[in-house]
């Protein structure tokens, strides 16, 4: 009787064991296929990410080129004679700068400040015989001076930031009273900022505001002071500078950029 029960148990359990052994290869094959499919999806997503990163980098480069070209045109107008832009010209320049920022679609370290046309500063000197302020032409830079500035600016446009910093510093040493000196001082700070030399960049932007208080580059420099303090994690100083931009230049692209960075600081819990 016992031997009969044992035979029945063996006959029942043997098919189940054989079924499990037969099904194991199928389960393993399914797992291998699923892993391969996941790997293919990961490779596809990685490729898409790399493509988007390249497109973003190209977009940033085009944005910087447009900004630098616009600044170069304004500088050439300053060197070519007196420029008296009216409200329409001023708003057009601001719209061009705002369009460059909107086309970029980001608020990166490379957020671009608003570019303004040069301001006309009335002369403090009165002629003895007869004032000639309205008819006097703006001083024309020497060819060597203009060439030196253009060389430094071209290095910046070519993204050769170390060369640009060296060229702008040399320009400021050789032509400290040049009509391009304030621009050179600003772009010197930019050259250091984009290479993450934040302490030196901060000093350059502050020098611009101290040495050239009437320069149209002062608002841009103040914004970059706020950005630089942010990168240095000096939150109180960053907040003070960016708030000052909002209060001093309301309803401008600069004010909107300052508000964007302040919003980021609030979301990050820095104040």
Structure tokens at 24: 């194991």
pLDDT tens-place string over residues 53-107: 777 776 676 666 666 666 666 555 555 444 444 433 333 434 444 443 344 343 4
Residue 188: what are its φ and ψ, rounded to 5°? -65, -45
User: Does an H or E element contain 211, and which?
Assistant: helix 198-211
pLDDT tens-place string over residues 207-223: 999 999 999 999 999 99
Which of 5-14, 37-46, 179-188 reaches the highest mean pLDDT?
A: 179-188
Contact yes or no for 221/187 (Cβ under 8 A) = no
Task: Enter the pTM of the model.
Answer: 0.55
261: Cβ contacts below 8 Å, ≥ 6 apart: 107, 111, 226, 227, 230, 238, 242
The pLDDT value recorded for residue 248 is 96
For residue 107, the tally of other CB atoms under 10 A from its CB is 13
pLDDT tens-place string over residues 152-186: 999 999 999 999 999 999 999 999 999 999 999 99
pLDDT grade, residue 26 (50/70/90)? low
- Does pLDDT of 128 surpass 90? no
Contact yes or no for 31/39 (Cβ under 8 A) = no
How is the chain split into domains, by residue range? Answer: 29-78
Q: How far is CA 146 from CA 110, 119, 249, in A?
A: 27, 20, 31
Contact yes or no for 201/192 (Cβ under 8 A) = yes
Q: How far is CA 83 from CA 47, 98, 145, 175, in A?
A: 50, 22, 20, 22
112: Cβ contacts below 8 Å, ≥ 6 apart: 63, 64, 67, 97, 100, 101, 104
- Does pLDDT of 16 surpass 90? no
Contact yes or no for 185/219 (Cβ under 8 A) = no
């Amino acid at each position: 009787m016992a031997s009969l029960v044992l035979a029945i148990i063996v006959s029942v359990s043997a098919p189940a064991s054989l079924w499990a052994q037969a099904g194991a290869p199928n389960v393993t094959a399914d797992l291998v296929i699923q892993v391969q499919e996941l790997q293919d999806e990961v490779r596809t997503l990685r490729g898409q990410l790399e493509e988007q990163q390249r497109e973003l980098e190209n977009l940033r480069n085009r944005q910087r080129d447009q900004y630098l070209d616009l600044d170069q045109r304004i500088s050439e107008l300053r060197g070519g004679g007196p420029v008296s832009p009216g409200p329409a010209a001023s708003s057009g320049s601001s719209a061009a700068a705002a369009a460059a920022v909107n086309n970029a679609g980001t608020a990166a370290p490379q957020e671009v400040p608003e570019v303004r046309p040069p301001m006309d500063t009335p002369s403090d000197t009165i002629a003895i015989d007869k004032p000639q302020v309205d008819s006097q032409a703006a001083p024309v830079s020497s060819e060597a001076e203009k060439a030196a500035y253009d060389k430094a600016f071209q290095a910046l446009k070519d993204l050769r930031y170390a060369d640009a910093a060296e060229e702008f510093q040399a320009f400021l040493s050789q032509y400290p009273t040049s009509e391009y000196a304030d621009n050179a001082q600003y772009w010197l700070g930019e050259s250091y900022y984009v290479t993450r030399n934040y302490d030196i960049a901060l000093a350059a932007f502050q020098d611009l505001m101290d040495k050239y208080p009437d320069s149209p580059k002062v608002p841009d420099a103040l914004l970059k002071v706020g950005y630089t303090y942010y990168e240095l994690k000096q939150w109180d100083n960053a907040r003070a500078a960016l708030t000052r931009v909002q209060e001093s230049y309301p309803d401008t692209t600069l004010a909107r950029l300052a508000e964007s960075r302040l919003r980021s600081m609030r979301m990050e819990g820095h104040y």
